[in-house]
Amino acid sequence: MVNRPEIRVADDREALAQMAAEEFALRADEAIRAKGAFAVALSGGSTPKELYARLASERQPFRDRIAWNKVHFFWGDERHVPPDDPQSNFRMAQETMLSKLPIPADNIHRILAEKADAADAAAAYEQTLREFFRPPAGEWPRFDLVLLGLGPEGHTASLFPGNTVASDPSRWVAAPWVEKFHTYRITLTPAVLNHADQAMFLVAGADKAEIVSEVIQGADRPEELPAQAIRPVSGRLIWLLDRAAASKLS
């Protein structure tokens, strides 16, 4: 990495979820005060589950603190499956958070990953983004916050090593074939992710320590480590790590 991003380390997974929830709430308050809305792209996988549960929990302040009717939910990526599939990132967010909060249905902008052709799902999502953000010609959609995870081989969203499709500079949403999982995925492209006001990685566990160290402090090789392609053009890049995931940072 050329410029070292902001790194915050929490003692454990619970403290990490708390730290992420506080940051989510801060960014939401800020965007809603400034623009009357907060557009966030959720990440999938397992790590963010505790964050989502905490945001929706009746035992936590976030449920009452955030103006949920002004929050618009998008996804950074989705598996090529229907929304009720156990693999669906939408289903995970729906079950852990969205179904428990007073969120208008129109504020949930899921990727239509049930479409037979993943490329059609990507094209449809690009249209969804265009209709919501309405950027000037040649401009990019600007998320207020993009949540990102990190895979053991350095992928983020569904940007995997060797994916050329997702690196097309003109595309907002791509549908790369992911050999590792022998399936198509739908993903926001690095260009869209990098135009967010804030990109925030959420990574936990000792099994991620090596890849965290390689991505943040290792040689710059975004083709092999797509997480290194996340370099906000003008926004902030924050890594929220638990102590185990940060254990190999020098």
Where on the chain is the footprint of ligand 6PG (CB under 6 A)? 43-47, 77, 89, 149-151, 155-158
Least gap, CB of 48 to ligand 6PG (angstroms) = 7
Give bridge partners of residue 188 from the DSSP assignment: 173
Q: Token pair for residue 242? A: 């638990």
Which of 51, 6, 7, 5 minimizes the C-alpha distance to 243? 7
Output 30 or 87, the one with its CB closest to ligand 6PG: 87
- β-bridge mates for residue 203, sequence order: 241
Classify residue 108 by its DSSP letter: B
Nearer to ligand 6PG, 158 or 163 (CB): 158
Q: How far is the CB of 42 from ligand 6PG (least distance, A)?
A: 9
31 vs 204, beta carbon nearer ligand 6PG: 204
- Kindly state the smallest distance separating residue 35's Cβ from ligand 6PG, in Å: 26
Among residues 150 and 193, whose Cβ is nearest to ligand 6PG?
A: 150
Which is nearer to ligand 6PG, 14 or 63 (by Cβ)?
A: 14
Name 55's Cβ contacts closer than 8 Å, sequence gap at least 6: 21, 24, 25, 62, 63, 66, 97, 101
Amino acid letter, residue 159: L
How far apart CA 167 and CA 2 sit, in angstroms, is 19
Element containing residue 6 per DSSP (H, E)? strand 6-10
**Taking CB positions, which residue lies at the least distance from ligand 6PG?**
149
The CB-of-247 to ligand 6PG minimum distance in angstroms stands at 16
Least distance (Å) from ligand 6PG to the CB of residue 102? Answer: 26
